[in-house]
Amino acid sequence: MASEIHFQSLVVSRAEPAAAGIRLFEFRSADGADLRSFDAGAHVKVRTPSGHVRQYSLSNDPRERDRYVIAVKREGDGRGGSRSMVDQVQVGDRLEVGEPENLFALDEHGHGFVLIAGGIGITPVLAMARTLLSREQPFTLYYLTRDAASTAFLDVVTAPGMRGHVVLHHDEGDPDKAYDLWPVLEKPGSLAGRHLYCCGPRGLMDAVRDMTGHWPGSSVHFETFGADTKPRADDRPFVVRLARSGMAFQVPAGQSILDVARTHGVRVASSCESGTCGTCKTSLLAGEADHRDLVLLEEEKAGNIMVCVSRAISDELVLDL
């Protein structure tokens, strides 16, 4: 699938801090020509200086044809894709950027929109907010972050015009201070045509999924970049052995390797928990994986597994943990 993407060489015209640990990048064509158009919710693949291909949502106004704007969170524990973007990319560099793809598009027939963004999940949601604002369509953006310092696009969401549509909440990293979305989500609204869009950490998306079970399925949308994070009916349990610690545990259907490792006190770095960021890449020493991520290259699949989403075809996997 990735091979069908046409990459083009674009110039980095801006590279600057967007918040703590987050950097904003602007891409333009070298000759000033218009770029391929996109709609709110779209993302592009970017080949990072480290050679990884990563997907980043476009956060600028889709009416702009001369630039793409992305924001990248530096995943210190990751495998190098975001780190090389944040640490190495400078204004004037050229990067390979794919054509916009959109698996998270606004419903053209929607009449009211609830947008929920957690942390760096603001990027596609901000393009949606810009679009809805320009169309004068009703929406509220719930933007949930740790604190002001880690809030990307703070100036945009607090600007006149946008500010009246935004509920900005900081939890200071304390789960007890998490924003209570239930009053927002309790009534799907008699409102036919009300749509919900959510992008953020797995925990937030799971919570929103839990709270919207009574919404019409077609009106609730999550950005997973097409990653296959939903349990499948034929998922079955399997055994994971950890070569370094000698531990072994069973991963039941409905739980990820990462979840089960955590409950056993095994720490594996993770971020997106949806198979898209590359952080939880783990060496696979034996067994056959059922890969469900969007980051491993074909040649990496025999020896690696993304433990946040992938499962096993064999009865047992041996991991280098």
Nearest residue (CB) to ligand FES, 54 versus 194? 54
Determine the Cα–Cα distance for residues 235 and 313; give it in Å rounded to an integer: 10
Would you call 167 helix, strand, or coil by DSSP?
strand
Q: Which is nearer to ligand FES, 129 or 319 (CB)?
A: 319
CB of 78 to ligand FES, least distance (A): 8
Can you tell me the distance from the alpha carbon of 235 to that of 212, in angstroms, rounded to the nearest whole number?
A: 24
Nearer CB in complex with ligand FES: 212/279? 279
Bridge partners for 9 per DSSP: 96
User: Residue 151 or residue 271: which is nearer to ligand FES going by CB?
Assistant: 271
Q: Least distance (Å) from ligand FES to the CB of residue 272?
A: 4
- Compute the least distance from the CB of residue 205 to ligand FES, in Å: 13
**Which residues contact ligand FES (rule: CB under 6 A)?**
270-273, 275-280, 293, 295, 306, 308
Q: Which helix (H) or strand (E) holds 123?
A: helix 122-135
Least gap, CB of 309 to ligand FES (angstroms): 6
- Phi-psi region at 50: left, alpha or beta (left = phi > 0; alpha = psi -120 to 50): alpha
For 43-86, the DSSP string reads EEEEE-TTS-EEEEE--S-TT--S-EEEEEE--TTS-SHHHHHH
> CB 30 → ligand FES: shortest distance, Å?
32
Q: Which is nearer to ligand FES, 137 or 283 (CB)?
A: 283
Half-sphere exposure of 243 (CA within 13 A, CB side): 10
Report the residue number, 132 or 309, with the smaller CB distance to ligand FES.
309
> In angstroms, what is the minimal distance from the CB of 275 to ligand FES?
5
Non-local CB neighbours of 314 within 8 Å, separated by 6+ positions: 238, 287, 288
Strand, helix or coil for residue 241: strand
